[in-house]
Amino acid sequence: MPDTHSFSAFNNFRKAAQAGEFLITAEVAPPKGGDPTHTIEMAATLKGRVHAVNITDGSRAVMGMSSLVASAILLQHGIEPICQFACRDRNRIGLQADLMGAHALGIRNILALTGDPVKAGDHPDAKAVFDLEAVRLLQLIRNMNQGVDFNHKPLTDGELDLFAGAAVDPQSKSWSGLQSRFEKKIAAGAQFFQSQLITDFEILEKFMDKIASSYNKPILAGIFLLKSAKNAQFINKAVPGVNIPDHIIDRLVKAKHPLEEGMKIAAEQVQIAKELCQGVHIMAVKREDLIAPILDLAGVGKVS
């Protein structure tokens, strides 16, 4: 039998969010295979530096270990997870089953996502589900927190206690669409937001002033570690809605050590975000071990 610590819930992220602290989260991909050692090692470098670690759920429709299982493994190692739930691969029965399972395992933080299209990933012929999308998933979580299922029938073995968040893209080309979607997620019960990769901080400031400021929910700006000019150019080409500006790419081109320059850029962006919103969500694909040094460069100390 696992020890009781394996099933103890962490609520540090929720407490910090509700206390108005500057929130720091980071993203770690689950393993592609049965050995979680590398994922655990990368997440362990973030202990004491972030409030919680996001575990992705088939990001970019690329297959990996279940986000629920990987989140439970991190919890067993004393690392608070934010478990991403995408609607692409499960219907409402499967989503409810996994949400109940997450709660039973002590996982409390959920990021509700619609999910990337199957055609974008490594199994383009797979059959997508999309029974729900992010707003309806948030509504479902709110129902389950109130002790009822999707059909408003009682959860006879206990209500859930999940802290649900959602994604937001302040750089969306449709300002009215952005506002409408954001407000629907608020109305559906989103308690925090993690943004897509931010490259235009003036747009972020406008979003905070014109839309987000009315709702008093934490917004975490997405900060991405650019490893080289080639990496930045690839992201511009491959990620819809992202436009890494030329002056950033020029810095990477001219840098003697592009990776170190990318870390400096990320640290500068953390400092800018700290003046604009209530947190940052740092993405350093396959180099999660560099997130703590980036925070050091940004002058951000350990979290409580």
With residue 201 as reference, give the H or E element that holds it: helix 201-210
∠ CA 1-84-30, rounded to 5° = 65
| pLDDT tens over the chain, length 304 residues | 444 444 567 899 999 999 999 999 999 999 999 999 999 999 999 999 999 999 999 998 999 999 999 999 999 999 999 999 999 999 999 999 999 999 999 999 999 999 999 998 999 999 999 999 999 999 999 999 999 999 999 999 999 999 999 999 999 989 999 999 999 999 999 999 999 999 999 999 999 999 999 999 999 999 999 999 999 999 888 777 788 999 999 999 999 999 999 999 999 999 999 999 999 999 999 999 999 999 999 999 999 7
Per residue in 257-273, pLDDT (tens digit) is 999 999 999 999 999 99
In a domain, 4, yes or no: no
In a domain, 219, yes or no: yes
Q: What is the number of alpha carbons within 13 Å of residue 67 lying toward its C-beta?
A: 32
Kindly report the CATH number assigned to the domain that includes residue 154: 3.20.20.220
Residue 187 CB neighbours (<10 A) = 13
In a domain, 242, yes or no: no
In a domain, 240, yes or no: no
Tell me how many domains the chain contains. Answer: 1
Residue among 181, 144, 288 at smallest CA distance from 227? 288
Note down the domain range covering 155: 12-227+269-294
In a domain, 303, yes or no: no
In a domain, 83, yes or no: yes
- Chain mean pLDDT for the chain: 95
In a domain, 236, yes or no: no
In a domain, 2, yes or no: no
∠ CA 58-63-64, rounded to 5° = 80
Which amino acid, 232? A
